[in-house]
Chains A and B, each alone.
Chain A
Amino acid sequence: MTNLLEIKNLSVDFPSRRGQVAAVNMVSIAVAKGEVLGLVGESGAGKSTVGNSVINLLEPPGYISGGEIVFDGTRIDQLSNEEMRKIRGARIGTIFQDPQTSLNPLMTIGKQLSETLIETLKISGASAREKSIELLDSVGIPNPEPRLDAYPHQFSGGMRQRVVIALALAGDPDLIIADEPTTALDVSIQKQILDLIKSLCKQRNLGVIIVTHDIGVIAEIADRVAVMYNGQLVEQGKVKQVLQKPKHDYTKSLISAVPSGDQKLHRFTVVDYIDGSEEKVTLENVSDHWLSKNKSSETHGTAVSVKNLSIEFAIRQALFRKNRISLKAVDDVSIEIQTGESFGLVGESGSGKSTLARLIAGLYTPKSGDINIFGHNVLQKTEKTKTSLIRRKMQMIFQDPYSSLNSRMTVEDIISEPIRFHRSTENSSETTEVVKDLISFVGMPTTSLKKYPHEFSGGQRQRISIARALASRPEILICDEPTSALDVSVQANILNLLKDLQEELSLTMLFISHDLPVIRQMCDRVAVMQNGKICEIAETDKLFDHPEHDYSKHLLGLMPRMDLFRL
């Protein structure tokens, strides 16, 4: 089999003030026609940089400092910009991660398709329109002709990614580079898009490089896999062989860190190969610590009870009521969470799970229904002081650790703010002590208190968010996708920390995720949400082994195939 693309000893350097940073170091990979090569690694591994250097679109000031890229028998790493432009689109197509931002929002998709077709295939406008319809049809967009005049925002995320794929295929390329093509999409859509890429690859005999951080995606689609770590290629081979009998230690720990949906383990497996991830979580005896004071005596009973809760958002404003369109984001939902329980909320994006969490946290006001926390109706307007006391017992951890911390405050200020606001310590020296305890409690050195959030990685920031949440001495913790922005190795650490905290402090937890294996590991009971309604509430094991509702079955069927990982 002759190789379509051969990368030999590729090195990419990024000059910085502290000298050269080698983003990619002596990487050699090859792709043949009709083959899907998976390039897997965690953030910062240099996998996207490899893809970008093939199409010569490295982010400045990065440059190729060594090696060769041979495409279809010719070296392309030394071509001029103009020559390279003729290869992009016509010979090598690219799919980027986020379909929301890959398309020009002000241009109809028909126009974007035909301009690409006219440029790459040198055809006329009329035949470009016909070809566009054909392309949209081939990527599975139903009734494509009228959709040509639609703008990107009129498509759903999955449909938009199909348009992006159609655009990548427009020039009839031989090679497709897909950089995290499904990361921004829901599981069910992810499967459809991966199936589409795979079938296009076989039909058109394309070479495909799929760059991803998700081992599940690799297992689903790739023929061969190359594992990258810290700019270097650590292992490559057939998918089955690499996933089942990984040779390199990094691959081994990466695979073991993927949460399993098959069985419940006590703790998540931590990727111990990665430098600096072995932060020891020191849990002191917390029962007589500041954190455990002021606890309500109840350890049994209902912590949160939600009855017939509904909220609507206006999608279209209008003068007359009949012209207004509103979306029922949460529609007649009732749940009960017991004290000390981990309650999971699972569903796809748009199912209303985050909205429900925000309603419970008091960030939105519901249209109708009741919310009782520790038996107190928090929607009653008469007892405001009591309500705010109760609300303090509930804290939230958000998905994005980058935007949920104030970048102009030091970590110490961030964590001590709730303490000072609620005046929950005797004096400022006690506050300092408590803040120190909290930061070491979440597994970070006390030296980090004087730093600012941008000095930390995503995982460390999420630890800071957790410490901030603990500073209000919560009894209920609402975690909204706390690890979906993080790498698997970091995810394992954070989830273990949350589990430990919950046990030590006997917290009640509402855990929201779209990731079923994570839910299985974290939660005692799970509610499945779809279109603002609850489909099924069950014990975690019961739901995973014997789902009752059709939608639960459907969701479970979409979990990554774990059989490939095990013999």
Chain B
Amino acid sequence: MFYFILNRLAQALLVMAVVSAISFSLFNFVGDPVNNMVGQDATREQRIEIRQQLGLDDPILVQYQRFMINVAQGDFGLSYRIKQPVSQLILERLPATLELVFASAVIAVFIGIVLGVFTGIRRYSWVSKIIMSVSLIGVSLPTFIIGIGLIYLFAVYLRWLPSSGRAGVVELGGWKTSLLTVDGWRSIILPAITLSLFQLTMILRLVRAEMLEVMRSDYIKFARARGLANRAIHFGHALRNTLVPVITIIGLNIGGLIAYSVITETVFQWPGTGLMFIQAVDFVDVPIMAAYLIFVALLFVVINLIVDILYFVVDPRIRRGGS
């Protein structure tokens, strides 16, 4: 177990090193940062002075080393546009994104597994057939169309929910949450559903396929032969065996939720890191882009590590030699 986690940590470090190298290269390949910082009328001397201040004349390896040392200390430099520390900007925006991702993950996992199990067990009922047909929409429609559709239906036509923004924010020990007020909940519902729909249908279809596979296995047949009730067979035996591959996909998909949140946050003007990233791209605000890249990679790596550890919890066969 210890060896296994150590091994994974080493792999994670390697991934982070590669990603940080790529983010660093952004500084040198995405336009000249000085051009973006100073106005059109800045003199040549001013430009040279700024270059020297920023250390842009140093050899590339020295710059990379400086970048890595700063990043390791959580310092991603100043935003070119807002002139504030990037780490502070990200931390301010982070609660909004994490709450959105959390809400959609809960929706996707919960509804996805429940419907997946249902369609797996009642394979031939007409309800299952309808669920499967509708789930095709979730797989095939792009997120922004679903978002705009939901805004039209619930915000414009029915006027039940707000169309954009994040309302009802309360400060809770440095964490700005919108999950404590009714307004906050009303504003998170639409973006959360939009973001979760694709993952939900993926999980649904995966759970269903795994469930069908497991229901054919010998130990389910043997469980029936022992006279166990259907409930015990479906939820005690089948579901847990279904979960092993599902956990992998859920882990990867939560990373995907963060990545997709860029689109959802733009559609709903949700003040999270994704929206900040899109705005940074518009202004070629390289420090924010680089930091966001590293941040997303870090989340992926951490989630995958958690998934690997979850295997140990779910599947005793991986814990070999453990006891």
Q: Is A105 a contact of B225 with CB atoms below 8 Å?
A: no
Q: A107-B237, A317-B3, A325-B321 are in contact. Are A98 and B228 (CB under 8 A)?
A: no
A319-B6 in contact given A101-B217, A115-B232 (Cβ < 8 Å): yes
Q: Please measure, in the bound complex, the distance between the C-alpha atom of A323 and the C-alpha atom of B321, giving whole angstroms.
A: 10
Contact: B321 with A315, CB < 8 Å? yes
Closest A residue by C-beta to B221: A57
Interface members, chain A 249-294 (any B CB < 8 Å): none
**Separation of A57 and B223 alpha carbons in the complex (Å):** 11
Question: Contact between A85 and B222 (Cβ–Cβ < 8 Å)?
Answer: no
Closest to B320 in A: A316
In the complex, which residues of chain A have a beta carbon less than 8 angstroms from the beta carbon of B159? none
Are A94 and B222 in contact (CB-based, < 8 A)? yes
Alpha-carbon separation in the docked complex, A315 to B222 (Å): 30
Residue interface mask B191-218, A partner, CB < 8 A = 1:
0000000000000000000000000011
Contact B227 A106 (CB under 8 A): no
Contact B226 A101 (CB under 8 A): no
**Residue B58 CB within 8 A of the other chain:** no
**B83 interfacial contact with A, CB 8 Å:** no
Q: How far is the CA of A87 from the CA of B228 in the complex (A)?
A: 11
Which chain A residue lies CB-closest to B2? A319
A-B contact count (CB 8 A): 93
Q: Please indicate the chain A residues that have their CB under 8 angstroms from the CB of B321 in the complex.
A: 315-316, 325
CA A85 to CA B317, docked complex, whole Å = 30
Interface of B is mostly: helix
Which residue on chain B has the smallest CB distance to residue A108? B316
A105 with B218, Cβ < 8 A, contacts A86-B227, A317-B3 known: no
Check if A1 is an interface residue, CB within 8 A of chain B: no
A552 interface residue per 8 A CB criterion: no
Given contacts A104-B219, A104-B237, A104-B241, contact A151 B316 (CB under 8 A): yes
Per-residue CB contact flags for chain A residues 71-98 toward chain B (1 = under 8 Å, else 0) read 0000000000000011111100110101
Residue of A nearest to B236 (CB): A115
Question: Is there an interface contact between A96 and B221, defined as CB atoms closer than 8 Å?
Answer: yes
- In the complex, identify which listed stretch (A22-30, A167-175, A443-451, A557-565) lies at the interface while the others stay far away: A167-175
B241 touching A116 by the CB < 8 A rule?
no
Give Cα distance in the complex from A102 to B315, angstroms: 17
B316 touches A119 (CB 8 A): no
Report which residue of A86, A87, A105, A167 has the largest number of chain B beta carbons within 10 angstroms of its beta carbon: A105
Give bound CA distance, A414 to B135, whole Å. 42
Q: Is B229 an interface residue (CB 8 A)?
A: yes
* Residues of the A chain whose Cβ atoms lie less than 8 Å from the Cβ of B315: 105-106
With an 8 Å Cβ cutoff, the count of chain A residues facing the other chain is: 38
Query: Across the two chains, which residue of chain A brings its CB closest to B238?
Result: A104
Contact pick for A119, options B219, B227, B241, CB 8 Å = B227
Given the contacts A105-B241, A315-B321, A89 and B226 also touching, CB distance less than 8 Å: yes
- Which residues of chain A from 40 to 76 have a CB within 8 Å of any chain B CB? 55, 57
Shortest C-beta distance, A385 to chain B (Å), equals 38
| Interface contact B226-A170, CB-CB below 8 Å | yes
Interface: B240 (CB within 8 A): yes
B224: Cβ under 8 A from any A Cβ: yes
B314 interface residue per 8 A CB criterion: yes
Q: Judging by beta carbons under 8 Å apart, are B222 and A89 in contact?
A: no
Q: Does A318 contact B (CB under 8 A)?
A: yes
Contacts of B228 in A (CB 8 A): 89, 115-116, 119
B321: shortest Cβ distance to chain A, in Å? 4
- Min Cβ gap A46→B in Å is 18
Question: Chain A residue with minimal CB distance to B317?
Answer: A153
Which of B4, B221, B314 gathers most chain A CB within 10 Å? B221
Contact B3 A102 (CB under 8 A): no
Q: Are A167 and B317 in contact (CB under 8 A)?
A: no
The CA of A518 and the CA of B237, in the complex, are separated in Å by 41
Contact B219 A103 (CB under 8 A): yes
Cα A120 to Cα B225 in complex, Å, equals 11
A191 to B236, CA, bound (A): 34
For the complex, give the distance between the alpha carbons of A86 and B226 in Å.
Answer: 9
Q: Min CB distance, B122 to chain A, in Å?
A: 15
The distance in angstroms between the C-alpha atoms of A98 and B3, with both chains bound, is: 33
The answer for the CA separation of A106 and B242 in the assembled complex, in Å, is 11
Contacts of A319 in B (CB 8 A): 2-3, 6
Tell whether, in the assembled complex, residue A102 and residue B218 are in contact, meaning their CB atoms are under 8 Å apart: yes
- Taking a contact as CB atoms closer than 8 A, the residue among B219, B226, B244 that contacts A171 in the complex is B226
**Contact with A98, one of B218, B226, B237, B244 (Cβ below 8 angstroms):** B218
A499 to B295, CA, bound (A): 67
How long is the Cα–Cα vector from A240 to B316 in the complex, in angstroms? 47
Chain B residues, Cβ within 8 Å of A208? none
CA distance A405 to B69 in the complex (A): 56
Q: Which residue of B lies closest to A86 (CB)?
A: B227
- Once A96-B222, A101-B218, A315-B321 are accepted as A-B contacts, the answer to whether A171 and B227 lie under 8 Å apart by CB is yes
- List B contacts of A469 (CB < 8 A): none
**Which residue in chain A gives the minimum CB-CB distance to B4?**
A317
| Complex Cα gap A98–B314 (Å) | 23
Q: Is the CB of A102 within 8 A of B219?
A: yes
Contacts A104-B241, A106-B240; is A55 near B225 (CB within 8 Å)? yes
Which single residue of chain B is at the shortest CB-CB distance from A111?
B236
Partner of B226, one of A120, A315, A316: A120
Q: Is A193 part of the contact surface with B, judged by Cβ < 8 Å?
A: no
**Chain B 256-292 residues near chain A, CB threshold 8 A:** none
* Bound Cα distance from A318 to B7, whole angstroms: 10
Closest to A89 in B: B227
A111-129: contact bitstring with B at CB < 8 Å (1 yes, 0 no)? 0000110011000000000
- Give the nearest-CB partner of B219 in chain A: A104
27 A-B residue contacts at CB 8 Å? Answer: A57-B221, A57-B224, A57-B225, A85-B224, A85-B227, A89-B228, A90-B227, A93-B226, A96-B225, A102-B218, A102-B219, A105-B317, A106-B241, A106-B244, A106-B314, A115-B232, A115-B236, A116-B227, A119-B226, A119-B229, A151-B316, A164-B222, A167-B226, A168-B225, A171-B227, A317-B3, A325-B321
Given contacts A93-B225, A153-B320, A164-B222, 7 further A-B contacts (CB under 8 A): A57-B225, A96-B218, A106-B241, A151-B317, A153-B316, A168-B226, A318-B3
List 10 tightest A-B contacts by C-beta distance, closest first.
A89-B227, A94-B225, A101-B218, A88-B227, A151-B316, A89-B226, A316-B321, A102-B222, A104-B219, A116-B226
